[in-house]
Structure 1
Amino acid sequence: MDTQFLETFLAVIDCGSIAAAARQLDLAPTTVAQQIKALEKQLGNALLRRSGHTVKPTPAAHRIVERARLIVREARDLCASASSGVLPAGPLRLGATQYALMQLLPPALHEWRRRYPEIEIYIEPGNSQELMEQVVGGDLDAALIVHPLFALPKSCDWIALVEEPLVLITPATMQVDDVLATIAREPFIRFSRKVVGGKLVETYLQGHGLKPKAQFELDGIDIIVKFVAEGLGVALVPDRPAANHEAQGVRRCEVPGPRLFRTLGIVWQRASVRAPLVVALNELMAE
């Protein structure tokens, strides 16, 4: 059985249509349809029901989908383990948040391409929670994420790369004599409480007995900075090392302790055959 046919089957299941799977796999829709038919013939059962432009899995497909994922992962691991080089063969399937893609990865990827030109890296963008779930599920080898506010699974390893303390940002023209009084007095822009940074902000506010005049709740530091620069309020956000506050039109103020930090790092499955690739990439980011 050709594992490529199984990969195509899984792509159709995940995408919900042959056309979408074809775009994801960079194949012609007719090729995808032919591979599905070949797989159905090998298994002796229909796997998909066509309904207009979409497809639905049959009961037989539901029964085999998780086993198909396992077979595809095992085949990839086998190929990686059979590498004749010092490191396992790629591709390294890496998840990354937007900030990691913009700030942490590019310098390391330049060096990776120079040292390991034969090892490809596939990068999946996403938010920290989604990427963490994909690492645990085996769909990604590693991910650059914000550490959640709970312990990671014991099957995972973690290395912290950046610690970002909470700071107050205000419009550049605002004079700040008392940080806590400013938070209580001025219109406040909340960092979304659905994400780790926003939850840290809420913990800080509660710890200091602050109930600010919240005007907006936004997910995304760049958007919050823009709103603050436009004079729409003040905000507590994690302080990113590369941030140029003056150029962004905001002023940064350290906040009274206790200091709370958002931690960015890399997480991976300890038992993965591609774990040495993750360690090598982490060494380049550290450099």
Structure 2
Amino acid sequence: MDIRYLHNFLKVVDLGSMSEAARQLDVSPAAIAQQMRTLERELGASLLVRQGRSVQPTAAGQRLLERGRILVQDADALRDWVATDEDEGELRLGTVNTALHSFLPDILQSFAKHYPGVRIALRSAITPALYGALTQFELDAALCLKLPFELPKTVCWASLRQEPLVVLAHAHDAQRDPLELLRTQPLVRYDRQLAGGSLADRYLQAQRIQPHERVELNSIMAIALLVQRGLGVGLVPDIGRGLEGPDLCKLAVPAVSVPEDGAPLPARELGLLWRHQSPRGHWVQTLLRCAREVIEA
């Protein structure tokens, strides 16, 4: 049995679509379909059944799914164990954009001093996508936001920093009340479909502020650029050193409680995710130490 076919079977089941699996794997849908037929022929059982536009595993496919993940994981670990030199190889790292645009370059610079022969394969995405890639063995670690559910025992989490909400304003408004700015100035809104944007929206609702929105976008750095040009104010998580500029200031906002339970509205939390048993675990631990040193400096 070709372990690549088994890996692709897992991808098809996870996505519920052969065409989407083919797109993400950068192969043709016909190739994926042929691989699935080959697996079925080798195992002597039907593995997938169509339900409308999606595919679902049969009972036999479900049994293969349960053991297949372990087999793929063991094959990946074996290949890495044989091929990975202590000081050379590739570390597959995922990151959210805010980390990429702030302190990640310093973390990678520090890591490179420890392992100059290790290549970093970097993938930028939102946290749910990074978590999915990690659990599907496509990433070794991910610098991302804390997930809102309990992690399985196979995945580890280390918190690195809290990112409370701040108002981004033009430097000439540095002495003004941040809540007054949110009430009176156009808002360059952080995308509400993202965790930080949703947090900002909950804050505005708790403060009973109905802002005049100028634009909504999914980049904190882009919001900072628009604010510097006098196009309004922003309410975003404080990503640290990335929010700097001669015409930009950050204003802390008063704490607020969530109406549902009276608890304080939490800050956004960023940290490192990695798989518990990984042949690249020693690299991940070094990366974690580098991240803590950079962020705490």
Q: TM-score, normalised by structure 1?
A: 0.70
Query: How far is the alpha carbon of 1:68 from its aligned partner?
Result: 2.7
What is the alpha-carbon distance in structure 1 between the residues aligned to residue 181 and residue 195 of structure 2?
23
2:18 touches 2:33 (CA, 8 Å); kept in 1? no
In structure 2, the CA distance between the partners of 1:42 and 1:146, relative to structure 1 (3 Å rule), is: same
- Say if 2:257 is the partner of 1:251: no
Other-structure match for 2:142: 143
**Residue type at the aligned position of 1:187:** P
Other-structure match for 1:263: 269
- Say if 2:184 is the partner of 1:178: no
Query: How far is the alpha carbon of 1:3 from its aligned partner?
Result: 1.5
**Residue type at the aligned position of 1:265:** G
Other-structure match for 2:263: none
Local SS of the residue matching 1:267: strand
Other-structure match for 1:64: 64
1:191 touches 1:235 (CA, 8 Å); kept in 2? yes
Query: How far is the alpha carbon of 1:278 from its aligned partner?
Result: 1.5
- Say if 2:187 is the partner of 1:188: yes
What is the alpha-carbon distance in structure 2 between the residues aligned to residue 143 and residue 86 of structure 1?
21
1:65-144 to structure 2, matched below 5 A, reads: 65-81=65-81, 91-110=90-109, 112=111, 115-116=114-115, 119=118, 121-135=120-134, 140-144=139-143
Query: How far is the alpha carbon of 1:84 from its aligned partner?
Result: 8.0
Query: How far is the alpha carbon of 1:127 from its aligned partner?
Result: 0.5
Other-structure match for 2:236: 237
The farther-off stretch of 36-45 and 73-82 is: 36-45
**Residue type at the aligned position of 1:219:** N
1:187 touches 1:212 (CA, 8 Å); kept in 2? no
2:167 touches 2:235 (CA, 8 Å); kept in 1? yes
The Cα offsets for residues 68-115 of structure 1, whole Å up to 9 and x where unpaired, read as: 33321121123345578658x965443211223344434444555564
**Residue type at the aligned position of 1:239:** D
Query: How far is the alpha carbon of 1:246 from its aligned partner?
Result: 3.0
Query: How far is the alpha carbon of 1:251 from its aligned partner?
Result: 2.7
CA RMSD of aligned residues (A): 4.3
Local SS of the residue matching 2:232: coil
The Cα offsets for residues 217-272 of structure 1, whole Å up to 9 and x where unpaired, read as: 4433133334434544322112332335435xx53142244496433221223344
In structure 2, the CA distance between the partners of 1:110 and 1:4, relative to structure 1 (3 Å rule), is: farther
Residue of structure 2 aligned with 1:213, choices 207, 211, 214: 211
What is the alpha-carbon distance in structure 2 between the residues aligned to residue 10 and residue 136 of structure 1?
11
Equivalenced residues, count: 279
1:167 touches 1:239 (CA, 8 Å); kept in 2? yes
Query: How far is the alpha carbon of 1:37 from its aligned partner?
Result: 6.0
Query: How far is the alpha carbon of 1:196 from its aligned partner?
Result: 2.9
The Cα offsets for residues 189-239 of structure 1, whole Å up to 9 and x where unpaired, read as: 3333433323433454455x3413241444331333344345443221123
In structure 2, the CA distance between the partners of 1:55 and 1:255, relative to structure 1 (3 Å rule), is: closer
The Cα offsets for residues 44-82 of structure 1, whole Å up to 9 and x where unpaired, read as: 3566899xxx99677465663454333211211233455
**Residue type at the aligned position of 2:218:** D
What is the alpha-carbon distance in structure 2 between the residues aligned to residue 102 and residue 75 of structure 1?
35
Percent of aligned pairs with the same amino acid: 32
Gaps of 5+ in 1: none
Query: How far is the alpha carbon of 1:4 from its aligned partner?
Result: 3.0
What is the alpha-carbon distance in structure 2 between the residues aligned to residue 38 and residue 48 of structure 1?
12
